[in-house]
């Protein structure tokens, strides 16, 4: 278990170092697509990406506590392997995204899948140090992976166009979010991470695509309600232990 905690800490550091190693990355290059994606409706407003600062810091705290204080805790161990895979993929994601939107899309869905497994396996105890940072990370990945899919579909001119892909990917992100909430009914930061992105998508399309605004707004409402419910479930579980 201690070795797993050590390798997870290394992967977390590598993941958090990504923006410093690839500082020039500011989003997908529109020219990487046959149909350049300039300010597409599926992409959240720029301010939303500030959540990465919270995610990086919280995951670093998570890894530090896991290595120094919980390295032999049986309930922390099951989440370590899938989280390690997700963060290791994430450490190289920015470099791949600079040159290949297709392969970066494959990687981010793999990151999401393994992050969801890690969230599902996270312990009931230490909710703020163990489960919450993983849940927030998985929540943002849920929205980001489908936003990237929308860019890819529209960028390669596949049938639907930019707005059509935005609708499809909002539905996909929301459906995946409902599944993630079912996986862990006591992880309030998972739906909050998705909702944060949906708010930014709604604001991005305000005044231009009211249908997208309405769909994103509906998703935000449902996810916030589910988050409040998850806070209650989390509190009940903690009191019962």
| Confidence grade of residue 41 (pLDDT, cut at 50, 70, 90) | very high
CA distances from 201 to 45, 92, 143, 237, 238 (A): 6, 26, 10, 34, 34
Q: What is the pLDDT of residues 53-110, one digit of tens each?
A: 999 999 999 999 999 999 999 999 999 999 999 999 999 999 999 999 999 999 999 9
Q: What is the pLDDT of residue 128?
A: 94
How many C-beta atoms lie closer than 10 Å to residue 237's C-beta? 14
Q: Is residue 32 part of a domain?
A: no
Q: What is the pLDDT of residues 4-17, one digit of tens each?
A: 999 999 999 999 99
Q: What is the pLDDT of residues 178-224, one digit of tens each?
A: 999 999 999 999 999 999 999 999 999 999 999 999 999 999 999 99
Give dist(CA 239, CA 241) in Å, integer. 6
Token pair of 140 as six digits: 């943002």
Q: Is residue 70 part of a domain?
A: yes
Q: Is residue 34 part of a domain?
A: no
| Confidence grade of residue 38 (pLDDT, cut at 50, 70, 90) | confident
Q: Is residue 27 part of a domain?
A: no
Q: Is residue 31 part of a domain?
A: no
Q: Is residue 55 part of a domain?
A: yes
Phi, psi of 13 (to 5 degrees): -65, -45
Q: Is residue 28 part of a domain?
A: no
Q: Is residue 177 part of a domain?
A: yes
* Arithmetic mean of pLDDT, 26-46: 87
Residue corresponding to tokens 């944060």: 196
Q: How many structural domains does the chain have?
A: 1
Show the domain range for 180: 2-21+44-240
């Amino acid at each position: 278990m201690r070795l797993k905690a050590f390798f997870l800490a290394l992967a977390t550091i590598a993941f958090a170092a990504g923006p410093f190693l690839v500082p020039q990355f500011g989003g997908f290059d529109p020219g990487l697509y046959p149909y350049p994606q300039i300010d597409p409706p599926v992409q959240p407003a720029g301010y939303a990406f500030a959540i990465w600062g919270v995610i990086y810091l919280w995951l670093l705290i998570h890894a530090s506590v896991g290595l120094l204080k919980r390295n032999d805790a049986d309930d922390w161990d099951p989440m370590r392997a899938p989280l390690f895979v997700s963060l290791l993929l994430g450490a190289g994601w920015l470099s791949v995204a600079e040159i290949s939107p297709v392969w970066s899309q494959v990687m981010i869905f793999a990151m999401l899948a393994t992050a969801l497994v890690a969230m599902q396996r996270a312990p009931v105890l230490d909710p703020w140090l163990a489960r919450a940072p993983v849940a927030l990370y998985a929540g943002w990945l849920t929205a980001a992976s489908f936003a990237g899919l929308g860019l890819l579909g529209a960028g390669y001119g596949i049938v639907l166009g930019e707005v059509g892909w935005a609708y499809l990917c909002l539905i996909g992100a929301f459906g995946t979010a409902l599944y993630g909430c079912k996986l862990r009914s006591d992880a309030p930061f998972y739906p909050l991470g998705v909702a944060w992105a949906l708010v930014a998508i709604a604001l991005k399309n305000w005044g231009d695509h009211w249908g997208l605004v309405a769909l994103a707004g509906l998703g935000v409402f449902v996810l916030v309600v589910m988050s409040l419910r998850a806070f209650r479930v989390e509190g009940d579980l903690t009191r019962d232990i």
